[in-house]
Structure 1
Amino acid sequence: MRPNQALGRFWHAVATADDGVLMRGAFFGLLATAAVFLVIDVREIYQTASQELPGFDPQRTGQPVLPPALTDGKPHEAPVQPETDAEVLRQPIRFELKTGGILSAEGAIDPGAAARFAAEIEARGEYVKVISLNSPGGAVEDALAMSTLIRDKKLTTRVAKGALCASSCPIVMAGGAVREAEKDAVIGVHQVFNGGTDRPSPEQAMSSAQTATARVARHLDEMGIGSGLWFHALETPPDRLYYLTEAELKQFKLVTEPPATARKKS
């Protein structure tokens, strides 16, 4: 068959085909196109996974203790600089019981922090009423476990004036039955990421990111936190922070309204 005859028959088939055939053809065409772009995306993820991720690791030296802020897509400095020395905040999180039933939790949330926190609560639980947070964040799994235990014990979480609660630290804060942030507390969120030295395969990287995102979103919802908080986190690259304003802290319910009795006294 000559080429022009074959081409003529092709266009005749298109012209006489019913709508169902055309729709199926269009669908499979789009599916094929999507597959091509998926292959490209997977290759890019693989290249990223095999290199240094641009995430912020609070325990890594040579970085500022706070990444720049992301506001309207442009990085800015933190609204207030934390009062605690950067090298202190880089150290694995430490717990210290202070007067008034306050348990200070200061430093980076390293792998194993949740187990140490659970042991501290078991040993001193009857005295602890408030968890005072001052942390640049860290391991998400440990942050989730700490947050769950805090809610189980119906403790209060607090970020004091000049203290820092960034990255995965707001996940811990969300566990408080009562959640407080003093004026000039520094609180920020960003995307979760693999900060370890092991580099997963593209499939593992995508699966891990999706699973972690879903778990954090579900946990925040169970803690009564507004979805807008996690939307800001998802929109912010891991080497930036979205710093929350006082109005946003209330809007997203990361801080709770004081009890009615406390409002009457004031």
Structure 2
Amino acid sequence: MQFEYTDEQTDLEIMLGGFRHINAFGTIGKGDADKLLKLIETAGVPPRTTVYINSSGGDAEEGIKLGCVICACQLDTSIGTYVLEPKSDDDPIVARTLYSGKCLSAATLMFAGGRLRHFPDGASFGVHRFAYKNPVPNDVEKSQVLSAGIAKYLDQMGISLGFLSLSAGTASNKLLELSEDELREHRMITGGATEVVWGTEMRAQMLYVRGKRDSIFGQHKVILAHAKGVGFMFFAVIEAQGRQDELCNFGVVELVLNGENKRIDISRRCSREPNDMDVVLMVNLKEGEAREVAYSNSFGVQIRASKEAEVFLGVSAMDTEGGRDSLRSLYENMKTSS
């Protein structure tokens, strides 16, 4: 497989960010994961760069390794070939064209490593049973190990094991092409944001319920917590994407519940601190506010320059469906009033 990295072409593209991509094309062979990692390290490819895949497949084990490199480097995946158009000296932004491509067989395993996974119009996505060529008796055991490895890998990437069943049910000499709806059903594609993942944890004297989501705006977390002697608290961990100053200094900070139907102004009582690539926001909640959060259909936090500003930074309200029981249990067990 071949890899080509393209970075920003103009000063405006550098200022705006996001004008980077990797084209990955050809047959997947041994050593390709090392080649991709070397390119990423040498070129300084930043997180959230999209890898455009155009491949009919190849070595399945190497496909998993490529997906693991993509995952570890926090890259996104898409299908096709992204090409720069001819540029004139006064172009502030250089035109780019996405040409349709295919992601087949082992290339689908590479694709699965994307932090966000996109399925553009005209793309082709096909699967079949993975098998060794010219099998010998020992390859039966190797195939079983490979299948177990693929299942574990897909689960780690948040993809339904029903996807593996589709592959296993298609003969290795045939190809099952999957639609966008089928890929979305099995969580192989995410679009611009992943589903919210909820979890409950306890640390020291603090019990909390956390929602986590990846999107084109970064990886964000919202947390409803209760600590002994402190009470209820709200935390947000916001991937800053170079906007630490705005996130820490914009004057308006509001919790938003049920989409944006309910707002709680916390501008004067929240703390905001940079933490590596993130900004961590924290505020103590009144018991009634904690109840509103716990019983909401979604919640997040918006940070704006003024009340009139239409554009916000922060975390769009996260759907609480997957964490509803945990959020409500936390509130009901920790509230002080009857």
Which range, TM-score by smaller chain?
0.5 to 0.7
Distance in 2 (alpha carbons) for counterparts of 1:235 and 1:140: 17
2:13 aligned with 1:94, yes or no? no
Residues 237, 261 of structure 1: alpha-carbon distance in 2 compared, 3 angstrom cutoff: closer
Matches within 5 A, 1:139-158: 139-158=59-78
Q: 1:141 to 1:261 in 2, by over 3 A?
A: closer
CA distance in 1, matches of 2:139, 2:160: 27
- 1:238-249 to 2 correspondences below 5 Å: 238-249=172-183
Q: Is the 8 A contact 2:33 2:69 kept in 1?
A: no
Indicate the residue corresponding to 1:222 in structure 2: 156
1:116 counterpart residue number: 35
Deviation at 1:205, TM superposition (A): 1.9
The two structures, once aligned, show a CA RMSD in angstroms of 2.1
| 1:211 to 2:149 alignment | no
Cα distance in 2, alignment partners of residues 154 and 101 from structure 1: 14
Q: Which has the higher helix share?
A: 1
| Equivalent-residue separation in structure 2 for 1:231 and 1:135 (angstroms) | 22
Q: d(CA) in 2 for partners of 1:132 and 1:220?
A: 20
Matched residues in 2 for 1:115 and 1:152: separation? 13
Counterpart mapping for 1:181-220 below 5 A: 181-195=119-133, 199-200=135-136, 202=137, 204-220=138-154
Higher Cα Rg, which structure = 1
Mark the CA change 1:96 to 1:234 in structure 2 (over 3 Å): closer, same or farther: same
Aligned length: 168
Cα deviation for residue 116 of structure 1 reads 1.2
**Alignment of 1:258 onto 2:166:** no
Q: How do 1:16-165 and structure 2 match up within 5 A?
A: 93-99=1-7, 100-127=19-46, 129-160=49-80, 162-165=100-103
Identical columns (%): 27
Distance in 2 separating the partners of 1:249 and 1:235: 16
Structure in which a larger fraction of residues adopt strand = 2
Deviation, structure 1 residue 257: 3.5
Q: 1:169 aligns with which of 96, 102, 107?
A: 107
Q: How far apart are 1:172 and its partner, in Å?
A: 0.6
How far off is 1:120 after superposition? 1.1
* Residues 36-79 of structure 1 deviation map (CA, whole Å, 9 limit, x = unaligned): xxxxxxxxxxxxxxxxxxxxxxxxxxxxxxxxxxxxxxxxxxxx
Moved more, 238-247 or 118-127: 118-127
Distance in structure 1 (CA, Å) of the matches to 2:172 and 2:124 = 17
Question: What is the CA–CA distance in structure 2 between the aligned matches of 1:174 and 1:135, rounded to whole Å?
Answer: 14
Is 2:178 the partner of 1:178?
A: no
CA gap 1:261/1:192 in 2 versus in 1, 3 angstroms:
closer
Relative to the length of structure 1, the TM-score reads 0.59
Specify the alignment match of 1:53 in structure 2.
none
Unaligned ranges ≥5, structure 1: 1-92
Runs of 4+ in 1 over 6 A off after TM superposition: none
Provide, for residues 68-92 of structure 1, a one-character-per-residue CA deviation record: whole Å limited to 9, x for no partner.
Answer: xxxxxxxxxxxxxxxxxxxxxxxxx
Using CA pairs under 8 Å that are at least 6 residues apart, name the structure with larger relative contact order, 1 or 2: 1
Residues 193/258 of structure 1: CA separation in 2 closer, same or farther (3 Å cut): same
Per-residue deviation, residues 8-51 of structure 1 (Å, max 9, x unmatched): xxxxxxxxxxxxxxxxxxxxxxxxxxxxxxxxxxxxxxxxxxxx
